[in-house]
């Protein structure tokens, strides 16, 4: 049960080996979280984190298995206070990204949407809960360097925004987190963009976000305004930017 100050007691992480996701879970466990369910493709690795009270096998690309896995995750007396959907692929950059697009969409798009929808239903029945989607600034506008990734993130991001509105009054909140460049293993070797952050910054934003009633947060916060400008730029100008 989430308390008056936004501390949660039970958390499920989809992408149970995600570096950012695990960092968030660690912070929640250091606070009031006592139930930690890690849903991951690689259950051994998820279990090896030592954080889980329960590990559930789940491959985002295999949507046909999702309903059973999500049911298992929510079937507990304390329910799930917060479901963090952090799984995702980055794919290759530049010209090669087009070849990865379908796979990125299967995981970051369709697979994530499937899990979001199932969590929303489970939480609606619970009458409470918060869904946290780890989205990306890349979802805001397709950039030449990573539009395959960006478009797959945009699918989940747009879906989550719609969910948030339909869940109004249900006791279920949706928190969409759009980080910029996060220094993780996934981005190792890439040139950090301006405003690059560590996973701890994302964690701080999620912990703070859980104290409110959902919404969209950027990490770092100033990216909200940067992305607003980028979204509003006319295409001839946008194309000339080194993005």
Does residue 145 belong to the site contacting other proteins (CB under 8 A)?
A: no
Does residue 208 belong to the site contacting other proteins (CB under 8 A)?
A: no
- 106 neighbors 61 (Cβ within 8 angstroms): yes
Q: Which of 27, 29, 32, 65 binds other proteins (CB under 8 A)?
A: 32
Does residue 103 belong to the site contacting other proteins (CB under 8 A)?
A: no
Does residue 78 belong to the site contacting other proteins (CB under 8 A)?
A: yes
Question: Which residue stretch of 100-108, 124-132, 135-143, 148-156 sits at the interface with other proteins (rule: CB under 8 A)?
Answer: 124-132
DSSP sequence for 107-167? IIIIIHHHHHHHHHHHHHHHT-EEEEEE--GGGTS--TTTHHHHHHHHHHHHHHHHHHHHT
- The question of whether 218 is a catalytic residue gets the answer no
For 226, list phi and psi in degrees, rounded to 5. -60, -45
Q: Which of 68, 127, 162, 215 binds other proteins (CB under 8 A)?
A: 127
Could you tell me where the beta strands, DSSP code E, fall in 4-104? Answer: 10-14, 35-40, 54-57, 82-85
Which CB, 6 or 195, lies closer to other proteins? Answer: 6
112, 113, 135, 149: the catalytic one is 149
How far apart, in whole angstroms, are the C-alpha atoms of residue 81 and residue 162? 20
Identify which of 40, 20, 61 has the alpha carbon closest to the alpha carbon of residue 200.
Answer: 20
Which CB, 78 or 198, lies closer to other proteins? Answer: 78
Q: Which of 19, 26, 27, 31 binds other proteins (CB under 8 A)?
A: 31
Q: How many CB atoms sit inside 10 A of residue 52's CB?
A: 22
Question: Which residue stretch of 22-30, 100-108, 122-130, 190-198 sits at the interface with other proteins (rule: CB under 8 A)?
Answer: 122-130
How far apart, in whole angstroms, are the C-alpha atoms of residue 224 and residue 6? 23
Catalytic residues: 149
Chain positions contacting other proteins, by CB under 8 A: 1-7, 9, 31-32, 77-79, 125-128, 169-171, 211-212
């Amino acid at each position: 049960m989430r308390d008056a100050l936004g501390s949660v007691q039970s958390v499920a992480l989809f992408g149970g080996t995600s570096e950012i996701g695990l960092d968030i879970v660690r912070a929640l466990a250091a606070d009031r979280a006592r139930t930690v369910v890690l849903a991951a493709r690689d259950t051994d690795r998820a279990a090896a984190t030592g954080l889980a009270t329960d590990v559930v096998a789940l491959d985002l690309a295999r949507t046909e298995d999702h309903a059973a896995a999500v049911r298992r995750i929510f079937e507990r007396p304390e329910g799930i206070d917060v479901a963090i959907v952090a799984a995702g692929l980055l794919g290759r950059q530049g010209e090669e990204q087009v070849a990865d697009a379908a796979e990125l969409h299967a995981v970051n798009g369709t697979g994530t949407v499937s899990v979001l929808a199932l969590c929303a239903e489970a939480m609606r029945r619970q009458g409470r809960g918060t869904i946290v989607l780890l989205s990306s600034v890349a979802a805001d506008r397709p950039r030449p360097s990573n539009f395959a990734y960006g478009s797959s993130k945009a699918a989940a991001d747009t879906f989550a925004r719609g969910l948030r509105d339909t869940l109004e009054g249900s006791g279920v909140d949706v928190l969409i987190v759009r980080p910029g460049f996060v220094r993780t293993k996934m981005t190792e070797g890439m040139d950090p963009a301006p405003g690059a952050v560590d996973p701890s910054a994302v964690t701080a934003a999620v912990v703070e976000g859980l104290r409110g009633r959902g919404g969209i947060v950027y990490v770092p916060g100033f990216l909200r305004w940067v992305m607003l400008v980028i979204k509003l730029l006319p295409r001839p100008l946008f194309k000339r930017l080194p993005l």
